[in-house]
Amino acid sequence: MTLLVDAGAVGLRWARLEAGRPGAVAVAAARELETEAWPARLGELPAVPRVLVANTAGPAFEARFRAFSAQTWGVEPEFAAAAAEQLGLRNAYRRPGALGVDRWLAMLAAWHRERAPLVVATAGTAFTVDLVDGGGRHRGGVLVPGERLMREALHAQTSGVAAASLLDAAAVEGAFGVNTAGAVQQGARLALAALIDRVAERLAEAEGRAPRVLLAGGAAEDVAPLVRSAARLAPELVLEGLALVAAEGRA
């Protein structure tokens, strides 16, 4: 059995590799990464001969996971990294490994699915949008704060907004907030949706056809209804990318 692990700031997700794809996905919340919750749950799995990890949770998590894997299964985990070229996808970065592994794996999975011009957005703590042309060439991307970070930045710098936001839960009518908390929430979500649409427009201009737009990440469902482009949710692109790397035989 091969175990696929996606470790990020919002938590830990894992699945077994089944017939070349991720099986049922299990989740540990971000707060559980510093507790014994995820080791206890992963430790219940039977012997795991191979473990592939996409780690954006940081070096401390990597060290802890290496020790856990060695002690629990006697296995040295493989940590995926972005490459200059892999599975028909070419990286735009001059230093390929500097590209976040979550972005790379999401693009690999999206390219494998579509083989067409792509906009791949991932909504997490950070919000990333990457472009892939019809020939499989990564055209670069953008990275901005996610919804939660946008809200926190606004609250931290504007005491009146922060105070008003605490008075009521977010209230929304249509796409717009009808109290302060709702206005802050929808402002962030509309900004992210508009970013996707603008990137999709630019890629369509370059390619002469509308790109496929795929949204991944824990907050994708909140942003997707506000995107004007024809967008589809694909929540497990990172794990799907890990599955492709596993089939290829290298991380």
Range of the domain at 20: 2-79
Q: Coil, strand or helix: which one is 121?
A: strand
Q: Which of 32, 41, 24, 44 is nearest to 7 (CA)?
A: 32
CA 132 to chain centre: 16
Q: Which two tokens stand for residue 247?
A: 């089939």
| 108 within domain boundaries | no
Helix (H) or strand (E) holding 186: helix 180-207
Per DSSP bridges, beta strands 89-90 and 85-86 are antiparallel
Please tell me whether residues 72 and 123 are part of one structural domain.
no
- 111 pLDDT band, cuts 50/70/90, is very high
Please tell me whether residues 120 and 189 are part of one structural domain.
yes
Distance CA 235, CA 250 (A): 23
pLDDT of residue 251: 54
Q: Tally the C-alpha atoms within 13 A of residue 108's C-alpha that lie toward its C-beta.
A: 30
Please tell me whether residues 61 and 11 are part of one structural domain.
yes
Q: Coil, strand or helix: which one is 6?
A: strand
Q: Is the pLDDT of residue 250 over 60?
A: no
Distance CA 83, CA 79 (A): 12
Domain of residue 58, CATH code = 3.30.420.40
pLDDT digits (tens, 9 = 90+) for 143-158: 999 999 999 898 888 8
Distance CA 143, CA 64 (A): 28
Q: Which of 37, 36, 34 is nearest to 57 (CA)?
A: 34
Please tell me whether residues 124 and 46 are part of one structural domain.
no
pLDDT of residue 32: 79
Owner of token pair 């001969």 = 49
* Mean pLDDT taken over the chain: 93
Q: Coil, strand or helix: which one is 13?
A: strand
pLDDT digits (tens, 9 = 90+) for 171-204: 889 899 999 899 999 999 999 999 999 999 999 9
pLDDT of residue 202: 97
Count CB-CB contacts under 10 A for residue 21: 16
- Eight-state DSSP code of residue 10: T
| 24 within domain boundaries | yes
| 228 within domain boundaries | yes
Distance CA 235, CA 100 (A): 17
Sequence-distant (≥ 6) Cβ neighbours of residue 231 within 8 angstroms: 121, 196, 213, 214, 215, 224
Q: Is the pLDDT of residue 142 over 70?
A: yes
Please tell me whether residues 213 and 123 are part of one structural domain.
yes
Q: 143: which strand partners?
A: 128
Please tell me whether residues 133 and 222 are part of one structural domain.
yes
Please tell me whether residues 139 and 193 are part of one structural domain.
yes
pLDDT of residue 113: 96
Catalytic residues: 102
pLDDT digits (tens, 9 = 90+) for 29-40: 877 777 888 899
Please tell me whether residues 120 and 219 are part of one structural domain.
yes
93: buried, middle or exposed (CB in 10 Å: 19+, 13-18, 0-12)?
middle
Give the number of domains in the chain.
Answer: 2
Q: Is the pLDDT of residue 212 over 70?
A: yes
Q: Summarize the confidence of residues 85-100 as an average pLDDT.
A: 97
